[in-house]
Every structure is written in structure tokens, then in C-alpha cells.
Structure 1
Amino acid sequence: MNDKSTPNEPPRSVTEPGGTPDTTLPIIVYALFLAGIVSGGITTLIGGVIAYVYRGKGPHWFDEHYRYQIRTFWISLLYFTLSGILTLVMIGFVTWLLAVVWLVVRCVKGLRALQEKRAPDNVDSWLF
């Protein structure tokens, strides 16, 4: 017999060849985004590069996470840049805090959806 499965092994999924994709990299990207709050953004850049490199290499719900992460990267770059400019008129500290809350909420929502093995909600949204 050339069958590679044993009788005690559950059958493999037909819809996703090779089983469920490994979610380690998207989790790392979300963690790098969160670490960017403390590191000044360098880890956010690394997370954005990882998301760009690995997009398109999995099932649709998996690729939607990378698209969500790429959008989060670019939108956070805009929000934090605007906050930096607005510090000149003393509003930037408030907008920076709002941008941090926005980033944390997006990452938590993405991680929760990843844990449930589904695409994140509102991928195209500028808010949450």
C-alpha cells in the first residue's frame, strides 16, 4: 500500500491542501506592530516587510490577514506622522495616544480573528 496515512490518523482537509496554514508569522507581525509602540516604529517596519513578502501564499482568509497588516502599517505611518507634526501645536500628544489605541485595537482584533482561523473584519476600514 502506498497510502501515507495510517488508520488512526484523521483525514486531511480537502479545502486546504497541506492542512491548516501555520499562523506563526502573522502572529509575529502583529507582535512587531505592538512592539513598534515602544521601539519607535522600527519593528513596525520589519512587520510590514514580512507581511509584504508572505502575502499571496495561503488560503484567502490567511492572505486577508497580510492585507490587513499591510493596511495597518501604512495607515499607522500616516497617523503617527500626523501626530508628530501636530506636536508642534500641542495637539499631537492626544492624537498620538489615539493612534496607539487604534493600533492596539486593530492588532487585537486581527489576533482574535487569526485564532478563530478567519479573515479579520473590516479589512478596508481606516478605523477599527
Structure 2
Amino acid sequence: MSDPVISTDPKQAGNANLIYILYLVASVVGVTAIVGVVMAYMAKDDAPDWLRSHYHNQINIFWKGLLYMAVGAVLSIVLIGFLIILAAFIWYIIRIVKGMQTLAKGEPYPNPSGWGF
């Protein structure tokens, strides 16, 4: 048996890639993450299944990253929060880079609902 060929629309893949880039820029300028998540919500319904997994991943990166950072901020009072914020930042970057790599290959994001990497 052969693997199914996934046809990719460069414009749609370009939008998903732009969202990943906006998320990377959000490491410095936080407002771009809000723009990115709005774009992901707008594009996910019209996307093919393989690309929808990337939009789902991007939406999860935003909300889970926000949750991790909020927990870290609250716990920074007892100093462990700074470690949580650092771990959340590393998780955020790894998740984005992994998404960009699978998007460049034209593959769906593996387990976009997962809490790990």
C-alpha cells in the first residue's frame, strides 16, 4: 500500500506559517500572539484536515501557554513560578518549531491536543 498524497495549498500553508512566526515574535511583542490566535480561529474551518491540525495546535499553544504563564506568575510569589515560566517558554518555543517543521513537510501536526511537546 502506498501512503496517501496530501495536496497542499501554498496560501493556506503560508497562513499557518505566518501564525507560527507571529507566535515566535510574541516572545518579544506579546500582542502578535493575539493576532495569531484570531487568524487561526478564522482559518481553521475552511482548511483541509492536515492543515486544520496545525490551526488546532496553534490555538492550543495560545491557550495552554497563557495558562502555564498565569500559573507561573501566581506561583512566582513563592519563587517556583519562575521555573514554571521558564519551562512554559521552552515548551512554547519547542511546540512552535515542531509545528513549523511538520508544516514545511506538508504533514499534519501529531497530537495537536497534547499537553507536552
Q: One fold, TM greater than 0.5?
A: yes
Aligned to 1:89: 78
Partners in 2 of 1:94 and 1:67 — Cα distance?
A: 27
**Equivalent residues of 1:26, 1:51 under 8 A apart:** yes
Q: What is the correspondence of 1:34-45 to structure 2 with a 5 Å cutoff?
A: 34-39=24-29, 41-45=30-34
- Select 1:76's aligned residue among 65, 71, 78: 65
Aligned to 1:33: 23
Give the % identical residues.
Answer: 34
TM-score (norm 2): 0.87
Aligned to 2:51: 62
**Equivalent residues of 1:21, 1:58 under 8 A apart:** no
Partners in 1 of 2:87 and 2:63 — Cα distance?
A: 16
Larger RCO (CA under 8 A, 6+ residues apart): 2
Aligned to 2:3: none
Q: Give 1 or 2: higher helix fraction.
A: 2
The code of the aligned residue for 1:123 comes to: P
Structure 2 unaligned regions, length at least 5: 1-5
Structure 1 unaligned regions, length at least 5: 1-14
Q: Which of structure 1's runs of 4+ aligned residues deviate more than 3 A? A: none
- How many residue pairs get aligned? The number is 112
Larger Rg: 1
Partners in 2 of 1:28 and 1:86 — Cα distance?
A: 33
